[in-house]
Structure 1
Amino acid sequence: MALTTLDPKTALVVIDLQNAVVALPGTPYSTADVVARSVELANAFRKHQLPVILVRVDTTPGDSLPGRTERPRPSGGTIPPGAADIVDELAGHPEDIVVVKRNWGAFYGTDLDLHLRRRGITQLVFTGVATSIGVESSARAAYEHGYHVTLATDAMTDLNPDAHHNSLDWIFPRLGESGTTAEVLELLAKTHA
């Protein structure tokens, strides 16, 4: 679906652009490209005095995720210093909201929805890593919470190209609208001219 509009009360939600995550290889876009496009969007949102939400994942030593899986998962061990920190290119803006999640999605077990509702936000633009995990989980929850969902498709990447394309081709069209960073920026400028 083509990107048609941005609500006057739209927030940018940046998923997991933290040191340990951006050190991973991305596909089809490099994590460096995703960071650069997310920075461009964040600067535009800040310019228009719209919220920028920086979501990072962190664990507490001894945490264990519930349920059985076929693939091994990290088990809340010791994280190297700085690994869970938001990348320098995005960090350091006191007006930004930082949300710490302990699961894939940014809504479950966090105060993200509270931050958004208090500000009257009706639409969310998502960027980040990984498309099929943190971004998709958060976008699904946003849709379920009644937000208009927009996905900046060239400002997200995955570890697996098939998973990335599955999200873009099959899941995201059912959750909202997708567009490039340039398209989001163009609509943002029109909405807040």
Structure 2
Amino acid sequence: MTQALSSLSLDPRKTALVMIDLQHGIVSRPIAPHSGAQVVENGKALADALRAKGGTVVWVHVLINEILALPADAPTRAPDAPPAPAIASELVPEIGAQDGDVIVAKRQWGAFYGTNLEQQLRRRGIDTIVLGGIATNFGVESTARAAFDFGFKLVFVEDATSALNDEMHRFTFEKLFRHMGHVRSTAQTIAALA
């Protein structure tokens, strides 16, 4: 059963696009249902549209060699893996980052803990976050949960987000994100910018 979408109107001055981990060491990995190139393309379209209307654009990247690594049955990075090259932690140029965009470096899955992201958003009067990136149920979901707890309104851009596999992506969007905020496409989100 398809649920009707409520109308969505975004005030660009109070809205920030937060894109997670569009960097060399992550975008090139096999992901689904959308390729890294598709996520980057849609993220750039969202950034260009929001920036043109006076909104805030935030690019978050993880410092791969400094990421929190605790003992786990299925670690995301092998404990004995050699250090990643520095470029792995750098944002890909295809996102088209501009002067005035906010760049946040993180050392864990979520973009809030241990960073100045909340302060950057609050100082700009942001009350709504448009969220996307890679991977859906790691960095994006961790960031979404913190943003929800901080009281930010959320818009999740389904085709500007992707996961390690389609099942993880679909589960997070269908069973979690639609309870936390609005789920929209890139085109629908751009159209909602008042």
TM exceeding 0.5: yes
Q: Deviations over 1:134-165 (max 9, x none)?
A: 11111111110000010011111111211101
The corresponding residue for 1:25 is 30
Change (3 A) 1:182 1:12: same
* Residue correspondences, number: 187
The structural deviation recorded for 1:16 is: 0.3
Among 162, 171, 177, the residue aligned to 1:166: 171
Instruction: Report the Cα distance in structure 2 between the residues aligned to 1:148 and 1:45, rounded to whole angstroms.
Output: 16
Q: Give, as a single letter, the amino acid of the residue that structure 2 aligns with 1:129.
A: I
Instruction: Report the Cα distance in structure 2 between the residues aligned to 1:59 and 1:181, rounded to whole angstroms.
Output: 28
Among 69, 74, 87, the residue aligned to 1:71: 74
Instruction: Report the Cα distance in structure 1 between the residues aligned to 2:47 and 2:118, rounded to whole angstroms.
Output: 19
Change (3 A) 1:37 1:96: same
Among 156, 166, 170, the residue aligned to 2:161: 156
The corresponding residue for 1:141 is 146
Q: Is the 8 A contact 2:68 2:107 kept in 1?
A: no
Q: Percent of pairs identical after alignment? A: 39
Alignment of 1:1-193 (within 5 A): 2=5, 4-8=8-12, 9-60=14-65, 64-66=68-70, 68-74=71-77, 75=79, 78-188=83-193, 191=194
Q: Deviations over 1:63-83 (max 9, x none)?
A: 6534x3211342585221311
Q: Deviations over 1:29-61 (max 9, x none)?
A: 111111000000011111112110000000456
Q: Give, as a single letter, the amino acid of the residue that structure 1 aligns with 2:140.
A: V
Instruction: Kindly report structure 1 stretches of 4+ aligned residues shifted beyond 3 Å.
Output: none
Change (3 A) 1:82 1:42: same
Secondary structure, aligned partner of 1:163: helix
Report the TM-score, using the length of structure 2 for normalisation: 0.90
Could you tell me which runs of 5 or more consecutive residues in structure 2 were left unpaired when the two chains were aligned.
none
Instruction: Report the Cα distance in structure 1 between the residues aligned to 2:161 and 2:42, rounded to whole angstroms.
Output: 9
Instruction: Report the Cα distance in structure 2 between the residues aligned to 1:10 and 1:27, rounded to whole angstroms.
Output: 27
Q: Is the 8 A contact 2:41 2:95 kept in 1?
A: no
